Structure 1
Amino acid sequence: MANRGKGYGPPLGNISEAVGNTPLVKISDRICPAAVVLSSPPSSRASFLSNPLSSVKDRLALAIIETAEKNGTLKPGQTVVEATSGNTGIAVAMMCVTMAEPFSIERRKIMRMLGAKVIVTPKAGKGTGMVEKAVELAEKNGGFSKVFLAQFHYDTTGPEIINDLDGVAKLDYWVTGYGTGGTFHGAGKYIKEKSPDTKIVLAEPQAANLIGSGIATERNADGSPASSHPAFKAHPIQGWTPDFIPLVLEKGLDLKLQDEMVEIPSTAGVEMSQALARKEGILTGISGGSTMWAAVETAKKAPEGSVLVAMLPDTGERYLSTPLFADVKAEMNEEELAIARSTPSWILEP
């Protein structure tokens, strides 16, 4: 049992110092009987401290701001402009945005709570429209429009995974989805360098199998997407797989980091997220459920005793207005009412 009274350590200088060192949690056979699956969850106490706004994107935002300040790209008084599905924008707002219309209301409110201006682009424009608006706003207002970075995941996420298993177990599989592709590229590169036998499994929605299609994204001279990818269709995994293959993801694919691809059925992420909450006490979003589903499917085919690590990107509280919580009611159901009425203190409303 962890030493719960040990404390975190001396007070931090600021919230950015809390980013990193997310714990691994073993998943029981209630979810995955075929192999040992370790997850890096957003919802445990330690992970809230290590990712203070409950998303792996906290790492990315820290890297963006620190790198831009050091190289002079981001100057005092400039505005940071971010095209986001929500989690990166929330993290950027913490460290110092445009987002597409379909993304959850919770994410917009959190960004505004943190002081960000949230410009919502029409859903018809998809991810490419969101990026285009961010570039336009940055150019018009003299803002700083960031580029996605993999180096921070190479420097932190990859080493954390390898170090946590050092002397404990051999890492047989690392399973992840992709949004910008920075986690896959950065952490995947480090893992392959330190553990060449580890198989990297990359997951994407079945409805939007951009990588599986074998069709490249057409690009402008600056590397941004020139048009929406022909294989893209709307899918329920917020933060995953925009309607183009991000450049940092493409560069990771060019390095041949992935060994296997898994396509996620449309309802699988929601169902697995709900199972993780009810059976493991891990509250993760649809992307986390989708990643775990890919890990479980991989474990079913893996040799007995294999060790898999799955990345769970964010917390389920970002999804209250999405299909993840569609069947979760605020009022008591008949079973709960029966329990309430089973003891003397129950008082009927007039």
Structure 2
Amino acid sequence: MYRAAPRLLRSALSRTVSSRGAGRGALYEDVTEIIGNTPCVKLSEKLCPPGTTVFAKCEFLNPLSSVKDRLALAVIEEAEASGKLKPGDTVIEATSGNTGIAVAMVCAQRGYKCVICMAEQFSVERRRLMRMLGAKVVLTPKAGKGFGMVKKAEELAEKHGWFLCHQFETEANWKFHNVTTGPEILADFEGKRLDYWVTGYGTGGTFHGAGKAIKAARPDVKIVLAEPEDAGLLASGVPTEHKPDGSPSASHPAFSAHPIQGWTPDFIPKVLHDAPMDMLLHELVPVPGAGAIATAQSLAAKEGLLTGISGGGTMWAALETAKKAPEGSVILAMLPDTGERYLSTPLFSDIPADMSEEELALAESTPSYQLLPGKEPVLAAA
């Protein structure tokens, strides 16, 4: 896998592997202290187009398995510092799942009550994870889309006096990526080639914040932003109208349902709207839902990288970028979350729970401990 890598890169990779067993050299006060510092992992030639090098930044190695751990910590810490959030308060947010899971984690650790509003179409396992973390989950009708769950969270926050995270509007979102995600990438690629950085968007915080940090230090890096082909909000050129607090005033007319959970709600978030597009954006890539799913499946089966549909979508855009990139180009793609968030979604629809014919044949190929359909279980062979 490493033979085609530059000598400097091979040396760096060897040093990383040789540090196994050394520990982190630190002890942590709580789970929030291990958010961030996620690794960048090189893809093999099984997926990477010839003549290029593609890396994945594995955000699923955050403690609650997604990039949204960063956002949740940023919002809660900013609210505590400003006095908006006090002991005994309730935190509420609207989310497709990952932000809610992350907010529930931070609330559990800090002792806040937590309420999450989520549209009914998002995966069931996300609801159960949030409830496992102590949150209350209020479902909203699928027909209301993302706008509906945001509106419900606003109503509940106003009625009960709860702290609303405003993940789509708060500057704390992109600013945290500006001082963590971006600098991590710069540190990992210090002295090394990096030509393209590829990301999708949910709130736009990663693109806005990390993008600013990367461009400030390495203006030669080209930033590629991906969005669903079925919901080309940015591609449409039609802006979202925002209310005075930054929240959307209506659902976007270019939105249609897409399978890339966590990406592109039915409005352009203020965090993304406020990003300096002229400075950051090199190319906007529409990603087909089927391509995102197939790429996530390939990452798992061929690279051992278990990411969700959004990670598959980002990597699809990265691999398409690699096909067009000059010889020797190095591309980094964000993998926002883990594939385990998608067990009840199309990502796993072709993955059977029962043994296939080939697996049954393997089971029968030796005499002991057979569990075959329509037959009595066999334990130790006589």
Per the shorter chain, which TM-score range? over 0.9
**2: CA distance between counterparts of 1:332 and 1:222?**
53
Amino acid corresponding to residue 176 of structure 2 in structure 1? F
Amino acid corresponding to residue 119 of structure 1 in structure 2? V
**2: CA distance between counterparts of 1:118 and 1:87?**
13
Q: CA deviation at 1:161?
A: 0.3
Change (3 A) 1:216 1:92: same
**2: CA distance between counterparts of 1:26 and 1:12?**
29
Larger CA deviation: 34-43 vs 202-211 = 34-43
Equivalent residue, structure 2, for 1:54 = 65
Conservation of the 8 A alpha-carbon contact between 2:93 and 2:166? no
Equivalent residue, structure 2, for 1:65 = 76
Can you give the 5+ residue segments of structure 1 that lack an aligned partner in the other structure?
Answer: none
Which of residues 239, 243, 246 is equivalent to 2:266?
243
| 1:61 alignment partner, SS class | helix
Residues 51-87 of structure 1 show CA distances to partners (whole Å, capped at 9, x for unaligned) of 1001000011111111110111112211111110000
1:213-292 → structure 2 map (5 Å cutoff): 213-254=236-277, 256-292=279-315
The higher relative CO (CA closer than 8 Å, separation ≥ 6) is in 1
Conservation of the 8 A alpha-carbon contact between 2:91 and 2:165? yes
1:1-350 → structure 2 map (5 Å cutoff): 1=14, 2=17, 3-34=19-50, 35-43=52-60, 47=61, 51-96=62-107, 97-148=116-167, 149-167=173-191, 169-254=192-277, 256-347=279-370, 349-350=375-376
Conservation of the 8 A alpha-carbon contact between 1:42 and 1:284? no
Structure 1: 4+ residue segments shifted above 3 A? 253-256, 346-349
**1: CA distance between counterparts of 2:76 and 2:231?**
31
Q: CA deviation at 1:255?
A: 5.1
Larger CA deviation: 173-182 vs 146-155 = 146-155
**1: CA distance between counterparts of 2:254 and 2:201?**
16
Can you give the 5+ residue segments of structure 2 that lack an aligned partner in the other structure?
Answer: 1-13, 108-115, 168-172, 377-382
**1: CA distance between counterparts of 2:48 and 2:273?**
31
Conservation of the 8 A alpha-carbon contact between 2:69 and 2:102? yes
Corresponding residue pairs, total: 343
Q: CA deviation at 1:6?
A: 1.5
Task: State TM-score, norm by structure 1.
Answer: 0.96
**2: CA distance between counterparts of 1:201 and 1:253?**
14
Residues 236-279 of structure 1 show CA distances to partners (whole Å, capped at 9, x for unaligned) of 00000000000010111545311101000120111000000000
Conservation of the 8 A alpha-carbon contact between 1:42 and 1:283? no
**2: CA distance between counterparts of 1:212 and 1:317?**
30
Amino acid corresponding to residue 184 of structure 2 in structure 1? E
| 1:77 alignment partner, SS class | coil
Residues 192-220 of structure 1 show CA distances to partners (whole Å, capped at 9, x for unaligned) of 10000110000000000000000000122
Amino acid corresponding to residue 105 of structure 1 in structure 2? V
Q: CA deviation at 1:26?
A: 0.3
Identity %: 64
Residues 104-123 of structure 1 show CA distances to partners (whole Å, capped at 9, x for unaligned) of 00100000000000001111
| 1:259 alignment partner, SS class | strand
Pairwise CA RMSD: 1.2
Which entry has the higher C-alpha Rg, 1 or 2?
Answer: 2
**2: CA distance between counterparts of 1:346 and 1:213?**
58
